[in-house]
Chain A
C-alpha cells in the first residue's frame, strides 16, 4: 500500500501536493478487541483541489481527517505518515500543531449547534481564531475583521449579528459562522466534515455555495467528508470512497460516477434514489451491513455483501491499484473485468422485480380526508402572569386526502408544519378548525373506546429507529406491544410477531433478541413490523429512512413499496428528501409555513413544478451525477425559513420567492396584499398568483 495516487488530469495535478497521507492507520484500543478504525489509507490533496471523501457511518472517514488535524483523543494509536507541505504532522507536539491549526489547516464540523461554544458571542469566537495566530491584533481590529468575514459568508446585518450568541442563530447561519471561523486566517486546506448533514436542502445548497465561494476567496484546497453522493458529484474534483477503514476507490468524479470499478461504489450509486429517475424503477438495495472493525475476517471487508465475490475475495484483501483506466484506482480483485466491461453494473446489481404488480385505483375510497386543518399555538410570555404575545401558525388550513392503497408524500423544510400535521392525524381528536375523517368516520364523533379501536387502523413509523425502540425490551415484545394495548391474548400475539418478522424480512427466531443486536436498517424493519402488527389501513411514515445509511435506505424503501402493494396499505409519507418521496408517492403535497403550496400527482409535479418554492426545493437537491449537477441551473432561495410567528401580509412565501423578485412592481402588488389560496393549475393545486409565469425563472438564471 505504498503506491502514490497520481490521479488528476487537470492543471492542479502538476502542483506539489500540500497534504500527503501515507499508510495511515488509527486504532482505538479496546479490551474486547482493538477497533481498527482506519487501516492503511493513502491520499493526497493538491493546492486548490476539492476532494470528496464518501463513506457510510463507521467507515473511518471522519477519524482519518481528525488524525490530520491532530484532534483524536490521546488513546488513539496512530501510525503511518501525514505530511503537510513536507512537515510530518504526526511528529508534532500539540503546541506545534496548534500553530498550524486554524492558520494553515482549518476545519468545519457537522453539527453547528454543538460546535460553537454557547457562552461566547459569534464575534468573539471568530476574533479568537484571529488573535491566537496574530496576538498583535487589537480587539477592535479583530472585531472589524469578524464583521467582514460574516459579510463574506452571507450573514445579513453583520455589524449587529457579530454580537449575537450561537443560540440566537439558525442552523444555516451557525454553519455560515463556522465557515467564517475556518476561513478567518486564509488557510490553505479546509476540511469539512459533513458540513450540511444537519441542514435542510435549501440551506444545504446555500452552505455549499458559501463553501465554494470560500474556496475561491482563499484558494484553499477543500476536503469534503460526506455520505451524500449528490453533494460530492456537484462540488468535488476528485472522490475517494471509504469502506471499513480503507479507501476502496479513488479517481476523478466523472470517471468514478460513470464507470465505478468497485462493486461497493456501484452499489451505493445504484441504491440512491435519483430525483431524475425515481418512481419509474425500483431501487437496487445493497444488502447487509458494514463489518465490525474490531474483528475483521481476512479478505476483502466488502466480500460478505458483494454479489460478485469469488473465493479469492474471502482470502486476500485487494490493494488499491489502477485497473487499466488512468487516474482511477479500485481495491477489487475483479476490477479488471469490470474495467474491461465484462461485468456491467446491471450484472452486479440487477434491479429487483416488484413483489406485486400495482394498479393505481383512483376510484378507491378515501382512507384519510383532511379539510381545512388548523393548529395554532399561542406564544406566551411571563412565568406567573402569562400573556399571549403572538400565535405560532404551525398548521394553517390544509387539505389532504389519501385513497386506499395510495401514498401521499408530504415534503417541506423543518419548521413547515409537517410534524404538527401528522401529530394531529395521529391524535384523532377534533382539530381546532377543520375536519379530520379517517376511514369515513369523522374523528370528532368518536368516543374514547371507538378512538382506541380506530388506533388499530392508523399506525406510525418513526424517524430514528435507534431512539424509537425501547432498548430494554426484546424485539418480540416491542412488536407485540400494540396488541397488548388492544388486549390480544398472548398466544395470538407471539404468532403475529413471528408472522410480522417474516413479513419485513427478518427471522422469526430473532424475537428474543434485543434492539442493540440489530443494525439501523434492521431496526427500522422492526419499527415497521411494530406498526403493521395491528393490521392498519393507514401507515404514517415520519422520515422513515432519513436516519439510515444510504446503502440500507433502498432496502427499506423497497420493503415499504412491497408491503403497500401486497397488503393494500395507504401511506402518509413525510420526508424532506424529495427523491425518496418521488420514489414512493402517488401524490405529493409541498408544505411551507403551515400551508400547502403545491399539491398534485407525483409524476406531473416533479416533471413540471408549478410553485416557485417547489422549484427551489427541487433545484436544491444534489443529484448523484456530476454531469447533471454541473449543467443544472439552480434556483437558490435566499435566507432562512421565516419564524412562524411573523405576520407576513399577502403571500407568506414572497419574502424568499425567487419569482417575486423578478416580477415588475405592478404584478407584485397582488403578492403583497392577497393571500393566495390553492387553485387548480394543469391538474394540480398551486397556491401562487403567478404560477403561469414560473418559466421566467428558467430564463432568468
Chain B
C-alpha cells in the first residue's frame, strides 16, 4: 500500500510539472506583457519597459525556452515562482488566496455531491413521477445556465430578500466584512452571510450534474438481482434500496467526482469574480486579463494540484466502497 501511494505521488508530481510547464510556455508565447505598460500616461520609455519585463522574467526578446529554464531553476533552487505584475511574489499570493477559494470549493462541492446523490436516488426510486420530473427539469435548467447568470439571479433574489427584511442579512460582496465585533459568534455569522450565496450557487451546479449521474446509476442498480435477494430475505423495498442499492450505486460516483471537480473549479472561479472574492479564481482570471505570465502559470499549478488531489480522493473512495478493487 505504501509503495502504491508513493508511486502515485511520483506520478502526480510529474503530471503537475508537465501541466505547469506547458502553461508557462503557452502563456509566454501568446501573452504580450509589454502592452500593459505601453499605453501608460506619461509614456514609459522602451528602456524602462524592458527592465520591468526583465525583472519579471517575461521579456519577449529572450527566447521562450531560455525564460522557461530560468523560471524552472528559480522554482527548484529558490522556491521562487516569480512575481506578479504588481510585484508581489506569486507563491505568497497563492498561499493567501488558496484558503479563500478552498473554503468555497470544499464546502460547495461536498454539499453539492451529497445533495446530488440524495436527489439522484430519490429521482430514480420515483422514476417518471412528478417529483422526479421536477428535479430533472430543474437540473437541466441549472446545467444549461452560465455560472455568472446563476450568481446574478441569486444576487437579485437576495437583494429582494434583504429589502423585505429591512436589514442586510445576506451579503454578496467580498468574503468577509472589514469591521466586525471581536469574538467567534460575530465572525461566524459574518462568514455565513458572505458565503451563503456563492456556496449556494456552487451547490446548485454540483447537485444538478451529480443528481443526473446518480439517478442513472441508481436506475441500473434498482434492476439488479441482489436487490431482489435482499427483499427475499425479508427486507422491505425501502430498506433494501437504502442498504443494498445506494451503497452499490455510490461506487461509480466516486470516479465521477474526479471528473466533475474540474468543472466545479471553473465554475467557482466565475463565482469569485461575480461575488468579488479575493480567491484563486479571481487571481487566475485577472492574470489572463493582465497578461501576467507568472501568475497564470502559478494558477495552473494550483488547479493541477487540486485536480490530482481530487482524483486521489476518488480512488481512495472507490477502494473504500468496492471490496473488489482493494489491494
Contact = CB atoms under 8 A, between A and B. Distances in A.
B226 A107 contact: no
Interface in A107-124: 107, 109, 111, 114-121
B78 interface: no
A441 interface: no
Given A114-B226, A118-B248, A119-B247, A167 B234 contact: no
A99 B234 contact: yes
Contacts of B251: 119
Nearest to A98: B236
A128 B229 contact: no
Contact of A128 (B224, B233, B248, B321): B233
Contacts of B237: 94
Interface in A130-172: 132-133, 165, 167
B226 A118 contact: yes
Contact of B236 (A94, A114, A133, A181): A94
Contacts of B248: 117-119
Contacts of B225: 109, 111, 114-115
A133 B232 CA distance: 12
B78 to A, nearest CB: 32
A107 B226 CA distance: 12
B247 A69 contact: no
Interface in A586-639: none
Contacts of A103: 234
B236 A95 contact: yes
A167 B321 CA distance: 14
A230 B94 CA distance: 74
Interface in B227-260: 228-237, 243-244, 247-248, 251
Interface in B189-241: 224-226, 228-237
A473 interface: no
Contacts of A128: 230, 233, 235, 243
B281 to A, nearest CB: 35
A101 B230 CA distance: 10
Contacts of A100: 234
B232 A71 contact: yes
Contacts of B247: 117, 119
Contacts of A167: 323-324
Q: What is the size category of the interface that chain B forms with chain A?
A: 20 to 34
A120 B246 CA distance: 13
A119 B232 contact: no
Given A109-B225, A114-B224, A117-B248, A165 B324 contact: yes
A102 interface: yes
A384 B321 CA distance: 24
Contact of A132 (B229, B235, B323): B235
Interface string A407-421: 000000000000000
Interface in A157-198: 165, 167, 178, 181-182, 184-185
A101 B244 contact: no
A40 B235 CA distance: 29
B234 A102 contact: yes
A101 B234 CA distance: 5
A63 to B, nearest CB: 13
Contact of B323 (A99, A114, A119): A119
A500 interface: no
Contacts of A99: 234
A98 B235 contact: yes
B38 interface: no
Q: Which of A109, A115, A181 has the most CB of B within 10 A?
A: A115
B103 interface: no
A129 interface: yes
Interface string B125-139: 000000000000000
A102 B321 CA distance: 27
A111 B322 CA distance: 20
A132 B232 contact: no
A118 B322 contact: yes
Nearest to A381: B327
B66 to A, nearest CB: 34
B36 interface: no
Nearest to A126: B233
A21 interface: no
A460 to B, nearest CB: 31
B244 A165 contact: no
Q: Which of B225, B232, B251 has the most CB of A within 10 A?
A: B232
Contacts of A118: 226, 248, 322-324
Nearest to A121: B323
B301 to A, nearest CB: 25
Contact of B234 (A109, A133, A384): A133
A165 B322 CA distance: 10
A106 interface: yes
A119 B322 contact: yes
Interface string A545-567: 00000000000000000000000
A28 B12 CA distance: 53
A117 B323 contact: no
B234 A69 contact: no
A129 B233 contact: yes
A103 B225 CA distance: 20
Given A94-B236, A119-B251, A101 B226 contact: no
B14 to A, nearest CB: 12
A31 B87 CA distance: 71
Contacts of A115: 225-226, 228-229
Contact of B233 (A111, A114, A119, A181): A181
Interface string B308-327: 00000000000001111000
Contacts of B228: 71, 109, 115
Contacts of B323: 118-119, 121, 165, 167
A210 B298 CA distance: 66
A133 B236 CA distance: 12
A109 B229 contact: yes
B322 A129 contact: no
Nearest to B238: A94
Q: Which of A69, A71, A182 has the most CB of B within 10 A?
A: A71
Interface in A493-541: none
Contacts of B230: 117, 128
Contacts of A120: 244
Interface of B: 7, 224-226, 228-237, 243-244, 247-248, 251, 321-324
29 contacts: A69-B231, A69-B232, A94-B236, A98-B236, A100-B234, A101-B231, A101-B234, A106-B233, A107-B229, A109-B225, A114-B225, A114-B226, A117-B229, A117-B230, A117-B244, A118-B248, A118-B322, A119-B322, A121-B323, A128-B243, A129-B233, A132-B233, A132-B234, A165-B324, A167-B323, A178-B229, A181-B229, A181-B233, A182-B232
Given A95-B236, A106-B232, A167-B324, 6 more contacts: A101-B233, A114-B225, A117-B226, A117-B230, A118-B248, A384-B7
